[in-house]
Structure formats: C-alpha cells, structure tokens
Amino acid sequence: MGKKRIIKPSAEEEVLKESEKVETKVKKEAKETLKKVKEGRIYILSSYNNTIITLTDLEGKVLGWVSAGSIGFKGAKKATPFAASKVAEAITQTIQKIGIEKIEILVKGIGSGRESAIRSLAARGLKIISIKDTTPVPHNGCRSPKVRRV
C-alpha cells in the first residue's frame, strides 16, 4: 500500500486562518460600536475641485465618507453645488443605516458646494446641533517678495 503521508498545514495557511479570525472580530466590534452611536459629526471639505463629506462619531472615528468623484462626477462637475447635494444625499443614507439622530456639521474650504451640502442635509430631516466653519485663515500671510531691481 505504500507510506501514508500526513499533510501538515503550511505556515501561510495558518496565517490566513488567523487573519480571518481577527477580521471577523474587528467586524463584530465595528458593528457593536455602530449600534451605540447616536450622535455624530459631519465634516464637509469643499474645494475648487471636489466636495468630500466624512461622517465620524464624537471621538473622531470615521464611520463613512463620500466624495463627488466616488459618486461618478468627473472633471469640473465635481465642484458644482448639484454634486455637493448628491454627496450629502449619499451620506444621509449611511447615517440612516447607522441610526444617528443628531449631527454636528464642520465646514472647511471655499468651494461652491458648501451651502448646498448643508441645505440638503437639513432637508433630509436630520437634527443639526451646530454648524461651524473651520476654514483656515492666514493671519498675516506669506512674506512678500523683495523689490525687483532693473
């Protein structure tokens, strides 16, 4: 009959099994934390090129994010108020899945999608606690170049 060989699992297979166990634990913990969240923060970053909305809990842990580019807008259309309102609608769906009731809004940037994103979030029936503008403003600006000598 021949020798019977016992196949030992390789080190790679063991590592894969352990990583799967760790991933399932992390997913369970993430689901538990999502259930506990009732309040959150929405960070709206509106630039000349894009609008990005990030949803976090009060500690700052990211629960979800959406940008105009990830929805499907390309080029100059990403920076429009219409794209920003669509981004806000997409993040609202995530908020409803998690079950967040109250939100704080922090707006940053000088793009055209700032106000339309806030308006569409308010129109979706979310309880907005506060709206804060965190756009960085230079105090004295950069040093001006020296005088040109001809």
The kind and range of the H/E element at 104 are: strand 102-108
- For 44, the 3-state DSSP assignment is strand
In this prediction, residue 40 carries a pLDDT of 92
Confidence class for position 139, pLDDT limits 50, 70, 90: confident
Q: Name residue 104's beta-bridge partners.
A: 41, 130
Distance CA 126, CA 73 (A): 25
Its pTM stands at: 0.72
Structural domains in the chain, CATH included, are 37-133 (3.30.420.80)
Give residue-wise pLDDT tens across range 50-67: 999 999 999 999 999 999
Quote the crossing angle between the two packed helices 81-98 and 114-123, to the nearest 10°.
Answer: 40
